Structure 1
Amino acid sequence: MVDSIILGGSTMGSMRRVWQPEIFYHVTVRGNNRQNIFLNEADFALFFQALHYTHQKHPFTVIAYCMMNNHYHLLIRSPKVPLYNVLTIINKRYSNYFKRKYHFFDQLYETHFFANMVSHPIGLLNVSSYIHQIPLRTTKAHTDRIELYPHSSYKYYIKQTKSQPSFINTQLLPSIIEQYPEIVAENYSTYCENYRMEEEKSLLTLT
């Protein structure tokens, strides 16, 4: 399993103090002891329902996500309420479902979750590209083309559809490409697919 990039991020507990409504956060949530938290397609679908449910209560915006079997990533902004509140609802709703379905009585998630502020536009491009490439970076790749992986937001960038979730924004990242003429990429898809691991160094200064 490929871990997220940790950039001096805060635990979820301290997020109550550091939340900034205008800033996107790279959130990583893992299964306790790296156990699987999604066992089949129905589980992935239920997690999506938890996102929809929470969005109706406290609107938020996601510009990139990826769900793997034992963890998930969100690049998310919560403008109205602390992000801690949003994630608490999402995680609790899904955890309750998982425990009922599988008669699971243990702790589902790791005690410490991580949320890293990403304030620079280029940082958003880099972190979102990292998130979208995760299915390629596991020990055994889940796909050979990131647009074919079903449990990430990348498919919405490749093909704009009216049925994309209301909490997904696919306009912001492409607009950054247009704003920075020094970026050598035809569009966001080109930037994302050409992103390489060695470019992670830029995240340290552009987040």
Structure 2
Amino acid sequence: MGNIRKVWQPELFYHITMRGNNKQCIFMNKEDFKFFFYTLQQAHTIYSFTIIAYSLINNHYHLLIRSPRVPLSEVLIFINQQYSEYFKCKYKFIGQLYETRYYTNMISEPLELLKVSKYIHQNHLFVQRTFLDKLDNYPNCSYSFYVNDKKDQPTYLNTHLLPSLIKKYPEFKIDNYKLFCEHIQMEIEKPSHRPYSLT
């Protein structure tokens, strides 16, 4: 897990990636994905964090998450332990479910939030080497909540920040977050750096 507790900054988002040990699957079926989302909800009740993008693939998951109240390491320990116990009990699994460390990247600029969120929302397309008719057809990704604002979304998910940020970057030549995510090959000009702010 590294020194995420020491570098934790409550005002910033972090890109977290957790993989199965030796690239093994950590989600076997719909019930496993469902339990992981249940675990996220449980963790949110205790720690009150915010996620702006997520994607769950069979052998790993991505979260773009901010934890304003407690070190993010505590949140991730809870999530990973709860899910690991569920998986080991259900499948009589013995051994290490995850890699020894999760990948973590602190995001300090709004532009990086947009780029990382796009990567997360497109991740299943490249991992599964298939393109769906619509990006939001994949059920284990937060993108569908950006497309359908009438869909009941989990309390830990914030779908307002990213669409508001993209309008601040004319270099994208697009001011619609959904189109930004769905443009697979879009080239991005090098932007000027701007300070990160949630407001």
Could you state the TM-score of these two structures normalised by the residue count of structure 2? 0.90
Q: Trace 1:97-136 onto structure 2 (pairs within 5 A).
A: 97-136=86-125
In the alignment, does 2:21 pair up with 1:29? no
Alignment of 1:152-167 (within 5 A): 152-161=141-150, 163-167=152-156
2:176 is matched by which residue type in structure 1?
A: N
Q: Which runs of 5+ in 2 are unaligned?
A: none
> Over residues 49-79 of structure 1, what are the superposed CA-to-partner deviations in whole Å (9 max), with x where a residue is unaligned?
0000000000000000000000000000000
* Partner amino acid, structure 1, of 2:162: L
Deviation string 1:26-58 (CA, Å, 9 cap, x unpaired) is: 000000000000000000000000000000000
CA contact 2:48–2:69 (8 Å) conserved in 1: yes
One-letter amino acid matched to 1:38:
F
Alignment of 1:12-27 (within 5 A): 12-27=1-16
Contact 1:135 1:146 in 2 (8 A): no
1:178 and 1:56 mapped to 2: Cα distance? 32
Return the match for 1:78 from 45, 67, 80: 67
Which blocks of at least 5 consecutive residues in structure 1 are unaligned? 1-11
- For the 8 Å contact 2:113–2:162, the answer to whether it is kept is yes
SS of the residue 1:13 aligns to: coil
Distance, in Å, in 1 between the alignment partners of 2:133 and 2:32 is 23
Quick one: which amino acid aligns to residue 149 of structure 1?
Y
Deviation at 1:103, TM superposition (A): 0.5
Q: Which residue of structure 1 lines up, in the alignment, with residue 56 of structure 2? A: 67
- In 2, the alpha carbon distance for the partners of 1:142 and 1:166 equals 29
Residue type matched to 1:77 in 2?
A: R
Displacement of 1:13 in angstroms is 2.9
Q: Give distance in 2, aligned partners of 1:22 and 1:186.
A: 25
Identical amino acids, percent of aligned pairs = 52
- Assess if the C-alpha contact under 8 Å between 1:26 and 1:74 holds in 2: yes
RMSD, matched Cα: 2.2
Count of aligned pairs between the two proteins? 194
Alpha-carbon distance in structure 1 between the residues aligned to 2:90 and 2:175 = 45
Instruction: Report the counterpart of residue 175 of structure 1 in structure 2.
Output: 164
Partner of 2:116, secondary structure, is helix
Q: CA deviation at 1:178?
A: 2.3
Does the 8 A contact of 1:65 with 1:74 survive in 2?
Answer: yes
Moved more, 124-133 or 171-180: 171-180
Q: Secondary structure in 2 aligned to 1:109?
A: coil
Provide TM-score, normalisation by structure 1.
0.87
